[in-house]
Every structure is written in C-alpha cells, then in structure tokens.
Amino acid sequence: MAISSYHPPTRTLMGPGPSDVNPRILEAMARPTIGHLDPAFMDMMNQLSQLLRDTFLTGNAVTFPVSAPGSAGMETCFVNLVTPGDKVVVCQNGVFGGRMKENVERCGAEPIMVEDTWGEVVDPNKLQDALKSNPDARIVAFVHAETSTGAQSDAETLVKIAHDHDCVTIVDAVTSLGGSPLKVDAWGIDAIYSGSQKCLSCTPGLSPVSFNERALEIVKGRTDKVQSWFLDLNLVLGYWGTEAKRAYHHTAPINALYGLHEALVILHEEGLENSWARHAHMHQALRAGIEAMGLSFVVKQGDNLPQLNSVVVPDGIDEAAVRSTLLNEFGLEIGAGLGAMAGKVWRIGLMGYAANPKNVLLCLGALDAVLTGMGAPINSGMAVSAARQVLSTD
Ligand SMILES: *Cc1c(COP(=O)(O)O)cnc(C)c1O
C-alpha cells in the first residue's frame, strides 16, 4: 500500500453533522500553533468564552468549550452534577435522551424516564406528573433539539416545571445552538452543552458548555470525587475558570480553538437572530420542495427543527442506495435514520454554513433525479421550482 498525503473528496454536508465548514474557519485553524499558556493565547481564550456567552445568551462566568466532542459535553454535565444515589428525571423522545439515561446509570444514579413517541416533542404534562410522583428527584435532563428525529421541545416550559419542583436542569443543545432560538439565562437553564460541528459549522471535536451558579454550587459542594478526572470541573476550571491565572490541566486543542473562535466571529458578524431566521427560511424552501415531490416530514409542522429535517422514505425505496447515489454522483451527504428510525427516514441537515439556497436547490434537484430514476412514486420535476419560489421571498 502506497501511502501519501490525504486529500478528502469535495462534499456538500447536509446530514446531521458535521456540516460544511466555512473556509475562513479552516484558514484560521491553519495559523501557527502557540503555547496553551502563552498570554496571547489566553487573550484568545477570554474572547472565546465571551463569544460563547453571547451565543448561549448568558452571563454565566463558567462558559467554555470542553476539549472533546458533544458527547463529552454531555458527560461533563452528568458526571459533575449527578452524585451516586440521585434520582434524575430524563425525558426521552429519541436517541440522545437514551444516552442521557446511560450517563445517569454510569454515575450510579437512578434514571426516572419520561418517554415520548419518537418524532414528537417532550410532553410537559408527563414531566409534571413524573416530578409529582418523585418529589425526591434532584435533576431534570432533556434534549432541546433531538437530532435523531428533528423535534424541537419547549425548553423554556420544561425548565420552569423542573424549577417549580426544585430540580436543576441539564439541557442538550448540541443541534440547537446557533440554528434556532435558545436563551440560557432568560429560560433559566442551569447546565447546558453543545457541539462545534452542527449549527456553529466548525470542525468536530469541541463542546461548548455553560453552568450557572446554582449548578456550580452542586459541583463545589461535592464531598465525593467526580468519577472522571478529565471532565472534573473543579480541576478543568483551574485552566478555563479564572481569567487572571490559568494553570495546566490538559493541553488545549489550540488550533481547534482558533477554529471555534472564527466560527463564532462569523456567527456574530451575521447576528444570532439573523442566523436563526436564515435557518428557518432555508427550512421553508426545503419543505416546499419536499412536499411538492409528494414526500412527507416525520415531525408535525411547528414542532420541527428547521436545521434537521426527517423525511419519510417512500415505500419500496432502498434508502441506503439513494444516499450512496447522492454521495457518489452529486458529492452530497444526507443522513440515515438512527435507532428506531433506521431504514425509514432520511435526515437532511441545514446547519450553519450549509444552510444556504444553493444547497437547498442541489439537494432537492439531486433527490428528485435519483428517486425518479428509481421509479419512485413522486411528483417529478416539481421540487426545485417550489423551493425557488420560497427563496425568492425574504
Ligand atoms: C450530535 C449530537 C450529540 C453528540 O455530539 P458528538 O459531537 O457527536 O459527540 C449529542 N446530542 C445531540 C442532540 C446531537 O445531535
């Protein structure tokens, strides 16, 4: 085997993440590596924390990117806030709520599950009932934007119910951050984690997190050791916590952090609310095309995420063959169904830099052509025009 430099093929990424990365971010990541304790680097870290506060819409002092992907942000929240023996209410309406349950169990705590049908949002009444029957529960955890189905739950209401029952909240905002409205302080979210590679359109491998005082009191008040050394906030904050004095904990992924900094600069040049509006508009255009084809969405309109669109695969069509044709002939990646939805849906992402008119038209045109070629029962030749009509209105 002759091995030389690796050059990836050109792709358009319209799956559940990673999303297309703005070339400005890749360029920022190619800048020279400096020391992770260099004062110049620390200035960048301070800016990065502030940019993240402006994105989460929070004043939380403890707001920083964990040096690992979204799953590590999830673990950071659970291992620090959940102590053995705790009762934790976990709302599950898709794959990622199941991972929260796993985390609770691995922390030696007891998950109380609130289950909703996949494709639907978390039902606030069910959470209310679970908290009434479990007055000793201490924490409520849920996924704001369930990427496995495309459902967007009402985080503000769920947090309010949790607080009425004196519970601290852990919220998964991996797919929502930057793509749809999320207001950490206004909604009272106590602990939240996200990911770099979805609507922030950065490379994968970083997980922005934020903790309010109420959450930090739990962490600081622990008498036992947090089970993970790497994710123990009491230790990590020696590096990320104090702007005045930073001490070595682990070597920060320096160039990856340049990338996230640039991604957030780009986001705020556009404006957070403008970014939410762009995602919504691109979703409307995609929806018009998908529906003109005669295909349908999994999630009821109004409960859906703009940035992740689960589309039902027509009867008799091999969904994997469609995806591989899109990839091989159009260089276009869309996602498969996860878990219970495997084989039944496609997941079309409109995330960050990838949420643009050209991508919407490419995706609809390609899907139309491939499905028509397979003899699928769709209205051929309608999708692109329907989307163009939406795109012509701002
Ligand atoms: C992608 C995703 C994660 C996991 O993030 P990774 O970066 O893949 O570890 C967690 N929760 C949700 C809702 C996600 O979409």
pLDDT of amino acid 34: 98
Architecture of domain 272-391: Alpha-Beta Complex (3.90)
**Nearest ligand 1 atom, CA 148:** 15
State the distance from the centre of ligand 1 to the C-alpha of 5, rounded, in angstroms.
29
Tokens of 394: 């701002």
Q: Which atom of ligand 1 is nearest to the CA of 74?
A: 10
Ligand 1 within 6 A of CB of 171: no
Query: Please, are residues 16 and 142 in contact by the beta-carbon 8 Å criterion?
Result: no
Find the 255 Cα to ligand 1 centroid distance in Å.
21
Write out pLDDT tens, residues 244-291: 788 999 999 999 999 999 999 999 999 999 999 999 999 999 999 999
Closest CA to 337 of 366, 351, 317: 317
CA distance 164 to 160: 6
Pocket of ligand 1 contains residue 204 by CB under 6 Å: yes
User: Residue 15 forms beta bridges with which residues?
Assistant: none
Q: How far is the CA of 207 from the centre of ligand 1 (A)?
A: 9
Residue 17 CB–ligand 1 contact under 6 Å: yes
Q: Atom of ligand 1 at shortest distance to CA of 69?
A: 7
Q: How far are the Cα atoms of 18, 33, 289, 335, 346 from residue 377, in angstroms, in the given order?
A: 31, 54, 15, 21, 16
Low-confidence residues of the chain, pLDDT below 70?
243
pTM, two decimals, is 0.97
Tell whether ligand 1 has an atom less than 6 A from the beta carbon of residue 149.
no
Measure the CA–CA gap between 347 and 236, rounded to whole angstroms.
35
Domain boundaries, the chain: 23-268, 272-391
23-268 topology per CATH: Aspartate Aminotransferase; domain 2 (3.40.640)
pLDDT of residue 340: 86
The first and second tokens of residue 192, run together, are 């939240």
Q: Identify the pLDDT of residue 143.
A: 98
Does any ligand 1 atom lie closer than 6 A to the CB of residue 178?
no
At 26 the pLDDT is 98
Atom of ligand 1 at shortest distance to CA of 308? 15
Predicted local distance difference test score (pLDDT) of residue 243 = 66
Ligand 1 within 6 A of CB of 152 = no
Distance 148 CA to ligand 1 centre (A): 10
CA distances from 101 to 65, 108, 226 (A): 23, 11, 18
pLDDT tens sequence across 310-332: 999 999 999 999 999 999 999 99
Å from CA of 1 to ligand 1 middle: 35
Measured from the Cα of 204, ligand 1's closest atom is 7
